[in-house]
Structure 1
Amino acid sequence: MRTSRTARRAAVLAASGTALATLLAASPAGAADLPTVTATSESAALYDDEAGGNSDADDPAIWRNPADPARSLVVATAKEGGLRVYDLDARLVQSPAAPKPPAEDDAPGRFNNVDLVSGQRTSTGLADVAVVSDRGNDRLRIYRIDPSRPGGPLTDITDPAAAPVFSADQTEINDQRTAYGLATWKDKSTGRTYALASQRERTRLALLELVPTANGTVGYRKVRTLDLPSSFRLPNGTSWTPCLEPGELPQIEGMVVDPATGTLYAGQEDIGIWRLRADLTNKPVLIDRTREYGVPGTYDEATEECTPGADPGYGGTRLSADVEGLTIYQEKGGDGYLLASSQGDNTFALYDREVSESNEYEGGFRIGAATDTLDSVEESDGAAVLNAPLGTRYPRGLLVVQDGQESPEVPDGEGGTRTATGFKFVDLGAVVDATDM
């Protein structure tokens, strides 16, 4: 069985415990000192097995219903399980399926990340849409959002002629170096809308313009690409790359664009958080590094695990790989925060949204258990925040995060437990109060 990325990161941390303890003690707030908030509700667990439709929670997005904010929706990805649409009580509203494989031996559709566009141009008028990265087919999928639609709020309006994002043909698609992370962006100067997609197991980002067609669908065209670094020069003069399986490069998944400034923040899972223009036309700046940054490792083919070396102490103090779930908390006047999931230590980090302040670290928090059944959040992949009133249930806004280890555990009938994930809904007001945001 292939060892998970999280397990490999845990091995690195265990081997570099002394240096890591020093880093945590020197940080503005060690992980153990961060405040804890609890979720108010959670989705039903998703199970990544045949009985569960190979459903695996990953990334959420929050759509605010302008006519009735209390009836707002959360759109979330479930990989081979397609999409899940929830109401504000985390109850299932709709579950559009991912596409079936083109042929028996081809990869099936696999919805990885999702983001929203408000006022997308179509041939039938403006529409709010959800844009999804279909890792299985190396394409973007576009869904119109209409809460009054009898069959459910989402309708697939993807241009059938949409081409693969990174692959030349189906053979390359089946290799699954495909569209992975995703963020959307509207250029305020032109009104044009874009999606930014990252490539799985590579460092490439692609800027794609969303283009309406004459028949009411929406497609996309590639504008440009940019490759983030895959190796790094350390202060001692050596070159370092993170330990990964052979042929892999340090990939990017969590991404978000600050709509006020057109600034893209991209989480390179093993490395840290990059800041650059959303149009991919400037040199990226690494605003924070993972604790594991610079730690050498040797991949063992027999065990499919990395054997870490000594930590040279060049890593950061706030993020434990993987870096995931980037989202923007917007305040009036341009203030606010960049929120990032520090997957390796089950915490969330907050950075000043102002580029002029060099995105200074402002603290963090964790999401603990509210009850025996409403459990804590571990290994969170995706996150979405909306600082706007959503009826009486969330008058100060909402934070939704993926939970990578749902409990209680459910037996799989073979002596183990089923892999269970889900989404937690957190009162944003509670986060603001706990963190002094």
Structure 2
Amino acid sequence: MKTRNSRPRVLSAAALGAAVAVAATTLAAAPPAGASDRFHDGLPGVTPRAETAPVFDDEEGGNADADDPAIWRNAADPDRSLVITAVKEGGLRVYDLDARQVQAVAAPPAPGPEDAPGRFNNVDLVHGLRLSSGRADVAVSSDRGTDRLRFHRIDGGAAGAPPTDVTDAAAPRIFTASQEEVNEERTAYGLAAYTDRRTGRSYAVVSRAGTTEVALLELDATSAGTVTYRKVRTVALPAAFRLPGGGSWSPCGEPGELPQVEGMVVDTRTGTLYAGQEDVGVWRLPADLRGAPRLLDKVREFGVPAAYDEESDECLPAGEDPGLGGARLAADVEGLTLLPGGAGGAGRLIVSSQGDDTFAVYERGRYADGFRVVASGELDGAEECDGAAVLDAPLGSRYPDGLLVVQDGHVSPEDDDREATGFKFVDLAHVEAALGERRS
């Protein structure tokens, strides 16, 4: 079972050269903590304030692979706020604002000897969900290993008190009809949870691995104090695209795989879903999945002919670049998160451009700026970032202006050649300063 990037990436001489240049620049950059510096591509670099201990994706490390974060604010005591993260077969890991692990939740065991265990891919939050015991904040996770959602009530910031599992035992599979289908891994993948401002009802938008499918699920509390869901509707994003002058293009992938979606976020003010189709770009569509999707931006590799090579497990160029791609995103498109408070009150969409280790910022539907998370002292930067989460509310003395948490796909130095991943904590004030927006 692949861990970091389940789809082969298109390799080219230009891409390899750019990657080497980016790596060299990042290694050479070590500005003071919180400072910004401009790189060869004109993007500022911001430095992390803290980082979690690495997790390792092997039997010795518990098959943990850092993927996606969510930030929970403790309204009664903001200094005791938490960062809840999905680490796949490692379950959920919960950190305090110093990036120290304080809680852990194991993924569900395999239902049978031939079955895969639970595998938490993405995590998000629903605030004030009405349970039989009262309203509560709940962490929602997409469990790729069982094709279900998992729900954990957040009981506070006390160390050693893990979130309480409130998943209804009868919660259905989302996309598959049997355990045999689950084992084929075409299961729940990306996730965005939200509450409709008009109706007060809570939902999760879930994507399916290896396909273009996206499903809308309505969350429902039971009389027993648990949470389940029902499927409202499913849509499929495009898998093939018409080209100017005739013909069509589809992103390269393993045989039988379609260009999947993972990173997603909902702007509840406008009822808009932003969905990152990894090898295509960023879509926007109504959060209720009614209406036509529209491409906000495309990856640079859009339209480039490529063919899957079984021996290398990579997609190799099969023709000239027709120049149809965008200028800001390098496949894969990964973590998406929303930062309110742009010009005129418009929200800003932050997108992880995994292929070049940058983050693109969009405002009012257009590219506005970008940045990198770079090394400083003993803290390295963020490379091949999967998930990202931002919160612009005060988080006590450590982050009075808010916090950005990003996954780091290559924690340095790696231990004994094991794949090491983790999360970086970035002061949001430093991001705002790097983007040229000073707080009053």
Question: Does the pair score TM above 0.5?
Answer: yes
Equivalent residue for 2:94? 85
SS of 1:9's partner is coil
Rounded Cα–Cα distance in structure 1 between residues aligned with 2:69 and 2:289: 24
Residue-by-residue CA offset, 1:386-406 (whole Å, 9 max, x unaligned):
001111110110000000000
- 1:339 has 2:347 as partner: no
SS of 2:105's partner is coil
Equivalent residue for 1:414? none
Q: Shift in Å at residue 31 of structure 1?
A: 6.9
Equivalent residue for 1:272? 281
Rounded Cα–Cα distance in structure 2 between residues aligned with 1:193 and 1:227: 22
- Residue type of the alignment partner of 1:314: L
Equivalent residue for 2:28? none
- 1:384 has 2:417 as partner: no
- Residue type of the alignment partner of 2:386: D
Q: Shift in Å at residue 14 of structure 1?
A: 3.3
Rounded Cα–Cα distance in structure 2 between residues aligned with 1:76 and 1:6: 19
Equivalent residue for 2:170? 161
Q: Is the 8 A contact 1:260 1:334 kept in 2?
A: no
Rounded Cα–Cα distance in structure 2 between residues aligned with 1:85 and 1:4: 20
Rounded Cα–Cα distance in structure 1 between residues aligned with 2:121 and 2:206: 11
Measured at CA, do residues 167 and 283 of structure 1 come closer, stay the same or move farther in structure 2, by a change above 3 Å? Answer: same
Q: Shift in Å at residue 360 of structure 1?
A: 1.0
Measured at CA, do residues 239 and 427 of structure 1 come closer, stay the same or move farther in structure 2, by a change above 3 Å? Answer: same
Q: Is the 8 A contact 1:135 1:179 kept in 2?
A: yes
- 1:350 has 2:361 as partner: yes
Equivalent residue for 2:373? 367
2:147 to 138, 143, 160: 138
Equivalent residue for 1:250? 259
Q: Shift in Å at residue 153 of structure 1?
A: 4.3
Q: Shift in Å at residue 419 of structure 1?
A: 0.3
1:179 to 168, 181, 188: 188
Paired-residue identity, %: 62
Measured at CA, do residues 148 and 313 of structure 1 come closer, stay the same or move farther in structure 2, by a change above 3 Å? Answer: closer
Q: Shift in Å at residue 32 of structure 1?
A: 2.2
SS of 2:11's partner is helix
Q: Is the 8 A contact 1:60 1:383 kept in 2?
A: yes
Q: Is the 8 A contact 1:12 1:292 kept in 2?
A: no
SS of 2:14's partner is helix
Alignment of 1:31-46 (within 5 A): 32-46=41-55
Equivalent residue for 1:290? 299
Q: Shift in Å at residue 123 of structure 1?
A: 1.3
Measured at CA, do residues 436 and 336 of structure 1 come closer, stay the same or move farther in structure 2, by a change above 3 Å? Answer: farther
Q: Shift in Å at residue 334 of structure 1?
A: 3.5
Equivalent residue for 2:237? 228
Rounded Cα–Cα distance in structure 2 between residues aligned with 1:294 and 1:13: 17
Q: Is the 8 A contact 1:400 1:423 kept in 2?
A: yes
Residue-by-residue CA offset, 1:221-270 (whole Å, 9 max, x unaligned):
00000000000011131200011000000000000001211110000000
- Residue type of the alignment partner of 1:78: V
Q: Is the 8 A contact 2:409 2:421 kept in 1?
A: yes
Q: Is the 8 A contact 2:7 2:253 kept in 1?
A: no
Measured at CA, do residues 154 and 256 of structure 1 come closer, stay the same or move farther in structure 2, by a change above 3 Å? Answer: same
Q: TM-score, normalised to structure 2's length?
A: 0.91
Equivalent residue for 1:312? 322
Rounded Cα–Cα distance in structure 2 between residues aligned with 1:11 and 1:30: 23
SS of 1:270's partner is coil
Measured at CA, do residues 6 and 166 of structure 1 come closer, stay the same or move farther in structure 2, by a change above 3 Å? Answer: closer
Q: Is the 8 A contact 1:402 1:423 kept in 2?
A: yes
Structure 1, unaligned stretches of length 5 or more? 22-28, 412-416
1:104 to 90, 96, 113: 113
Q: Shift in Å at residue 70 of structure 1?
A: 1.1
Residue-by-residue CA offset, 1:40-95 (whole Å, 9 max, x unaligned):
00000000011100000000000011101111100000000000000000000111
Rounded Cα–Cα distance in structure 2 between residues aligned with 1:203 and 1:150: 40
Q: Shift in Å at residue 196 of structure 1?
A: 0.5
Equivalent residue for 2:25? none
- Residue type of the alignment partner of 1:318: R
Q: Is the 8 A contact 1:144 1:157 kept in 2?
A: yes
Residue-by-residue CA offset, 1:325-367 (whole Å, 9 max, x unaligned):
1000012873231000000000000000x3xxxx111010001
1:397 to 376, 396, 402: 402
Equivalent residue for 2:340? 330
Equivalent residue for 1:52? 61
Measured at CA, do residues 10 and 376 of structure 1 come closer, stay the same or move farther in structure 2, by a change above 3 Å? Answer: farther
SS of 2:434's partner is helix
Q: Is the 8 A contact 2:102 2:159 kept in 1?
A: no
Q: Is the 8 A contact 1:16 1:311 kept in 2?
A: no
SS of 2:62's partner is coil
1:303 to 309, 312, 316: 312
Rounded Cα–Cα distance in structure 2 between residues aligned with 1:286 and 1:64: 32
> Which shows bigger deviation, 327-336 or 217-226?
327-336
Measured at CA, do residues 47 and 375 of structure 1 come closer, stay the same or move farther in structure 2, by a change above 3 Å? Answer: same
- Residue type of the alignment partner of 2:253: L
Q: Is the 8 A contact 1:57 1:421 kept in 2?
A: yes
Q: Shift in Å at residue 375 of structure 1?
A: 0.5
Q: Shift in Å at residue 124 of structure 1?
A: 1.4
Rounded Cα–Cα distance in structure 2 between residues aligned with 1:189 and 1:427: 33
Rounded Cα–Cα distance in structure 2 between residues aligned with 1:34 and 1:343: 15
Rounded Cα–Cα distance in structure 2 between residues aligned with 1:139 and 1:320: 30
